[in-house]
Structures are given as C-alpha cells and as structure tokens.
Structure 1
C-alpha cells in the first residue's frame, strides 16, 4: 500500500499546482465561481462527465446493484445521464444567455425577482451545499480510508481539508481542468474493472433473476423507478451542473457539453448493475457494499495500476465535491450577499465572502457525513428536496410564457411544506394488494419526493391561471431565447465598454 500512498501524494502535488495556477487567475469573485465565463467545450464536457462519474455516486450505484438487482444498480447512473440530456434541451442555453452566476440566478433573472432567486437559491444551497456535499464527502472518505488505512472520522476530516483548501485556492477554473484528467483516468479504471469481471467471472453476470425486466411494470419495480425518476427529473436543476454550464464560453458550448456528457454516462450506466451482481457472489455478506469496487481494485490490479485508479477516484471525488462547494458558495455570495446585503461590494470583499462560504459548506457537509456515513441516504435527500420545489419552474420557465413569479413562489413553498409534513407523518395513499401496475403506482405515490412533485406541479399550473405575468416577466421570457449570435454580440459590446 506504500505504492498507492506515494502515487496519491504525487497526484496531490499535481492538482495543487493546477490549483495554484488557478489562484493566479482569480482576481474577482466571478473568476472563482464561474471561471470568468471562459471555459471551452472540451473542458466543460470533461468536467461534466467527471461530475456524473463521481466516485461516490458510482459506489452508491454498485451498492444498490449488490443489495437489490441489476436494473436498480443501473438506475442511478442512467438517471444522472438522462437529467443532463434533458437539462441540455431545457435550460442550458437560457441560463447562459441570461449570463447567470448560478442556476439560482435563472429563477431571479427569468422571473424578474431577485427575492425569488434568493429563495430558490437557499433551497439549492441547503440541498447541494450541505446534503449533497455530505454524500460526496462520505464517498471520498471511503477512498481515503482505503489508501491510508484510517478510521472513518480522521479520513473524512482529511478528505474535506484537502478539498476545501483546493477549492479556496483555485476555484472553478482549477477544478474543471483537473477533472478532465481525473475523469479520463477513472473512466479507464471503471472500464478495466468491468472488463476483468466480464472476462474472469462472466458466469456471475446477466442472470435473468438479477435482470428481470418484467419487474419494472409490477409493484416490485418501484425501487428502480423511484431511483431513476428522482435523478432523471429531480436532478435537472442540479446546482453543481449549473455552475459548470454557467462558466461555459457561450450558449452553444453549454448546450453541446451537457448533451455529450449525458450521452456518455447513459452509455455506461449498465456497469454498476453488472458489478453489483458479480460482487454479490465474490463478496457475500459485505457489511458496506458501497466500498466493494475499491476492494476489488486492490485485489485484482497490480499495485501501481491500483494506485493510479484509487488516486484518480480520490482526486475526482475531491474535484466533484469542490464543484459542489463552489456552486453553494456562488449561490450564497451572489443571490444572498450581493443581491441583498452589499449590492456594490469591493472585489476583495466579495472574494473573501465566496471563500468563507466554501469553508462553511465544507464544515456542514463534514458534520452530515459523520452523522449518516452513507452516500445514498444523503444524496437522495438532496435530490428529493430539489425535485419537489424548484423542478417545475425550471422545466416550464423556458417554454411557458404564462408562468408567473407568484405562481413560482406558491409552487416552491407548497412542495417544500408537503415534503416536510409527509416525511414526518407519511403520504396518504389508497390501500391495495395489487402486484401489477396499480400496485407500482401506489408504491411510488407513497414516496414524498414523487407525490410532492405532483402537488407542486398542480399548484404552479393553477396559480399561473390566477396570477398573470407582468410585462417585465414577459420581456425576460423573450430575452432567454435570443439567438446565440445576438448574445455573443451583446457580450462583446459589454466587454468593449468595460
């Protein structure tokens, strides 16, 4: 294991060097948060792929495949890939055309209300900056434990310190450029593990009982659909994805990068199910199946190859968590501090606030990770909250002119209240013994995240019929669909004036 430690330390030197180069480029808060709106297509695409192949999410998907089945193991990655394709088609160009700092800016800019941007930003900041950061911390801690043979608590503290310092130094520019390298190495490692399993243990994969497609249309398929739908739809407003897209060079780059990255992730989404299926036999009665991929790499790869793979996963976990910190910091800095507390701050002050919010997000994420110590629990809590609150305004906002600011306020609030109440007291649902499609629908309805999005959707539609949009809201609707050429000319004009 000394070899693995040495490789990891050497790679840390590399990414901190990139972080230092990023530090030299950071003069303003927008340099830290959105890389000065300058990231080209290969960098944005590579960063997005690395974000969705983040080790914690892949570990969680393998763990689900181990405990439940092949399709359930596939659901997480397939859902993440689908959400990116849908996001590309729905909000990437409008967000970049409006030149928002964060995805929360879309709500404020599209609906002409900074208060709404702040409200949705707080929801996103809590969900992604705290709960999702906690989930990513757990996954990264697994890797640090494996490399350095530490207990969970010191490994978590070390992982968060390494990531937070890196985030404060280099910002999104450094994160994105290192993710391209880390994502490529991790993808090669994942393909290598799947190749070994299919070649050496092909008799342990693709058994009909593990991949029973008929279950998906019966009551037993509710776990697959709950996992898939919450990610495929609920993760469309993902703050960390929005942060990368907001930093794209132009709307076309934002759109293409999301489309390519989502397609890549969907193409390999079956792999966690296959690994979970094989590991069920190779590692029977595993106490924590989310760590099995790390154990397999150590036992089947030469030390140097295992070291490179574990290092790539650890570094990718760092950069993905760093992007989560930056997304959260961007929301608190732009949508709260800049829009309401200090409207004309000095750049040094704004940069200090941004870095302070990174540290706060890291501290809260660490506390949550120590409390839960499970990737899947924290991650789905974050996505549930997003799904029931800010999903509909983002999905309908670019296309439905009649959606008004008041309707968005009511929908977000109704979804949040419904989710909290039903999480405590349960969802009212009809009783049924049906094992077919009706039984499946009832089981899905019992989930606060699924039934909650139905409630918030009904509220936004009814409220939009009652409260009409203002002329300013209608003008913002039109602005988000200006041609890319008009946006490029406007940006060049603004830069020339500045």
Structure 2
C-alpha cells in the first residue's frame, strides 16, 4: 500500500469511462454516415461542447498557461484573437456549412463538400484538400501526443516513450471502435472536466497567495528580477506583433475537426443556441488558462523552492500548480482535464484523417462501390495508421506543444479558411479559384519563414494570398449554371431556417 497514489485511481476511472463510451458508440454505429458524422443527429449542447473540446487541445492547459507564465499577459492576445475568430466562425460559417453540405450530395467530409460544391468534375479538388488534411493533421496530432506524454511523464515517473503510449493509447482505441459518436460523446464529458479545472485552479492559486496586496508585491518582485511587466497586455508588443498573435483567430474558418461538428448538427436552427453555449464555455476556459499562468508567476516568485518541480519546462506550470496545491484525489480529477483536452482534439483529428482516406481516396479512387461496413473498417484501420505516424513525429521529447499547434493551425487556416468562407457567400466562386487558393495558402505557410525570416505569423500572409488567389482564379473562369443554381437553393434554405 506504500506506493498507492489516488491520482492513479482517478486517471484509471476516467480512462475506463471513455473506453465504455467508445464501446457504446460501437454498438450505435450502423453505417459510414454514423461513423463519420454521427448521422447528423446532434443537438445544440453536444454540438457546442464537442466543437469546443475538439478545438481546445493540450495547448489550452499546457501551451497557453506556459506562454503567459513566461511572458505575461502580452501573450493573452492569442486568447483574444481566438474568441473573436470563434464567434465569427459560429456566426458566419456554422449554419451555412450545415445546409450547403446537405445540398451538395450530403457531403460527409470537407474535401467531399469542395468536390461537389464546385461541380464534381475531376478529382484534383479532392486529392489536394485531402492531402492538405493528412499533411497538417499528422503534425497537429503529434502535438496531442506530446502533451499527453508530458502529462504522464510528469505524474507517473515513466520514460517519454512509455508516456506516449499511455497518453495516446486510450484515445486511439475509443476513436477506432466508436467513430464520431464516441468522439462527440466523450467530448461532452471532456469539455465539462476542462471547464471545472480551469475555473477552480486559478481561484485556488490566488487564494493560496494570501490576497491582493501579496499578489501585487509578488508581481513587483518578479518584474524587478526579470525586467518584464507581466501585467501589461502591451509589454514588448507592437501593432505588428499584436496582429500576428491575434491572427490565430483567422484559423477557425479552416479547421476540419471543428467544421465537422457543424456538419453533424441536426439542423441549421441548432446553431444559434449552440453558439451561445460554445462561446460561454470558451471564454471561461481561456480566461482560466490565462489566469493559471498569470498567477503562477506570483506563486513561484513567493515559493522559489518549488520552481524545480517544473524541471525547467514552462509548459508544466498548470501541472505543477495542481500537484502542489490540491490533495491527490482532487489533483487527479483536475489533471484528468489535461488528458481530456488532449484526447478530445486528438480523437477528432484522427477521425478526420481516417475519413479523408476512406471517403476521398479509398472510395473515391479504389472502391467506388465499397459497402458501408467496408468503409467503416477502412476508417478504423486508418485511425491506427495515422496515429502511428503522429507518434513518430512526436518521438522527440523536446517538441513544444504550442509550436506544433501553431504550424498546423496556420496550415488549415490559410489553406481552407478563405475557401470555406468565400464558398458560402459568393456563388461566382469556381473550382479553379478554390484550387489556386488552397495551393497558394499551403505553400505560403510552409515557405514563409524559411524564405522571409519574418516573425509575422504565417497565417496572416497565407490567408491574404489564398483569398487573392481565389478571387483571381474565379474571375478568370466561370461557374456552371448547375453550381450557381445549387448554391442559390442552399442559400435560400439557410435563410428560411435562420
């Protein structure tokens, strides 16, 4: 009994619950539509919580608090940009995309939507969009594996490789067997855990410091020691750096794992209530994450002997505060929220990758008449394959969670964001414009920093160049009458539903 740790129990219970949800979803999955989009049956609460949980990965409880801890509130521009971007994603994209995918051959994936929205001629559109998904999502998935490995490595004294398998194993299993239903049901549980942890932890950290006077004195001492003004949103910031940091919000319009939640809603009418629920949850979570990192500065200034618990890694600040200030039973529940954040996003990414392969490559090219059960099993095999590639990418223990997320987020935002937005509002947009935009956006994200050396977040030039390419490419070509007529019917249906 000497080695008994209550955190093992709480983690074990959490993992058992998500696996049981995966098993339940397995028996509820009847066909490929269920496996990919849950039969388009989700109401506003599940839609909102699933979209939020799949969005906020391990970076919410590791990368963002770590950045605030290291630099102060000047890094909160990331959170501000995300809130603005998410609101407009719900407002401008959610309902319209739900209706447009239904009118465009009941598209189940983003590549399939692009393919049918722009005339269903040739497969260049499908191949390019599915390839972009696979490329950037393997990087994005790797960030989740790294975050999970860091958590298990910090708590259970195991090697980085063992921690990777522990962190990713349960996610792979419930995603593989349960598909979209398992992912969305577990997302609802995980979103609840995340908001509980992010509200409670900064409050307890603040109370442990003694009060406003003690907190103020601690920040003054920290600022004097480092020369940084931690409490200023504008410390070390220029208009250039603020725009670059807040530009994270542009990425929402092109994230396939978030957009798929909009596609899975039971109707466009669901979106208004889902937006209110989702935005409230998001603002509370981001505020809590920033507060945890911010109060962590004061805590470790007042308790310098405890700094070594972070082992020189600022992204462990949330984990360290939790283990220092809570009983092992409560700490286990709170730290399960980090695992929940990791699992919710990683599962969504794995599912989008697997369905892109099954629907857009396997069915699209190899087996056009494949049976529903066959596609489901191909999807399951692809979940495992993509997960293994992500684990190879994540095998470097020095990988930074926020850096990996930053690259993949920009890739999707710049490649797909303008394509999705413009396709929902401009009936004159053509396949040539969409292909040019995707290609230019992806290339800009990959090549921007190596070629220019600029500190500007590659999302900004990528989004602009993609938009210009869409407009120019569309003006140099013409949509077919069928494309225009289908767009107008879908647009009319959305306005009637709204």
Name the TM tier (shorter chain): 0.7 to 0.9
Does residue 343 of the first structure (1) align with residue 368 of the second (2)?
yes
State the 4+ residue runs in structure 1 displaced beyond 6 angstroms: 205-208, 485-488
Query: For 2:87 and 2:277, how far apart are their aligned partners in 1?
Result: 8
> Is residue 81–residue 261 contact of structure 1 (8 Å, CA) maintained in 2?
no
Query: For 2:417 and 2:62, how far apart are their aligned partners in 1?
Result: 26
Does residue 248 of the first structure (1) align with residue 265 of the second (2)?
yes
> Is residue 145–residue 155 contact of structure 1 (8 Å, CA) maintained in 2?
yes
Query: For 1:341 and 1:258, how far apart are their aligned partners in 2?
Result: 39
Unaligned runs of 5+ in 1: 430-442, 489-498
**Which residue number corresponds to residue 226 of structure 1?**
244
RMSD: 2.6
**Which residue number corresponds to residue 107 of structure 1?**
114
Matches within 5 A, 1:455-470: 455-470=465-480
Query: For 1:279 and 1:317, how far apart are their aligned partners in 2?
Result: 22
| Alpha-carbon distance change, 485 to 82 in structure 1, aligned in 2, over 3 angstroms | closer
Does residue 282 of the first structure (1) align with residue 284 of the second (2)?
no
Does residue 136 of the first structure (1) align with residue 154 of the second (2)?
no
Query: For 2:62 and 2:80, how far apart are their aligned partners in 1?
Result: 14
Given candidates 438, 448, 451, the residue that maps to 1:422 is: 448
Query: For 2:115 and 2:130, how far apart are their aligned partners in 1?
Result: 9
> Is residue 61–residue 318 contact of structure 2 (8 Å, CA) maintained in 1?
no
Does residue 354 of the first structure (1) align with residue 372 of the second (2)?
no
Given candidates 29, 54, 57, the residue that maps to 1:54 is: 57
TM-score by length of 1: 0.86
Does residue 204 of the first structure (1) align with residue 211 of the second (2)?
no
Query: For 2:234 and 2:375, how far apart are their aligned partners in 1?
Result: 55
> Is residue 404–residue 464 contact of structure 1 (8 Å, CA) maintained in 2?
yes
**Which residue number corresponds to residue 387 of structure 1?**
413
**Which residue number corresponds to residue 327 of structure 1?**
352
Answer with 258-267 or 84-93: which moved more: 258-267
**Which residue number corresponds to residue 117 of structure 1?**
126
Unaligned runs of 5+ in 2: 224-228, 301-306
Does residue 179 of the first structure (1) align with residue 187 of the second (2)?
yes
TM-score by length of 2: 0.86
Matches within 5 A, 1:6-85: 6-72=9-75, 74-85=76-87
Given candidates 97, 102, 105, the residue that maps to 1:95 is: 97
What is the Cα deviation at residue 259 of structure 1?
Answer: 4.8
How many aligned positions are there? 467
Query: For 1:336 and 1:402, how far apart are their aligned partners in 2?
Result: 28
> Is residue 322–residue 331 contact of structure 2 (8 Å, CA) maintained in 1?
yes
> Is residue 110–residue 480 contact of structure 1 (8 Å, CA) maintained in 2?
no
> Is residue 351–residue 383 contact of structure 2 (8 Å, CA) maintained in 1?
yes
Does residue 127 of the first structure (1) align with residue 136 of the second (2)?
yes
**Which residue number corresponds to residue 273 of structure 1?**
290
Given candidates 291, 306, 314, the residue that maps to 2:316 is: 291
> Is residue 4–residue 311 contact of structure 1 (8 Å, CA) maintained in 2?
no
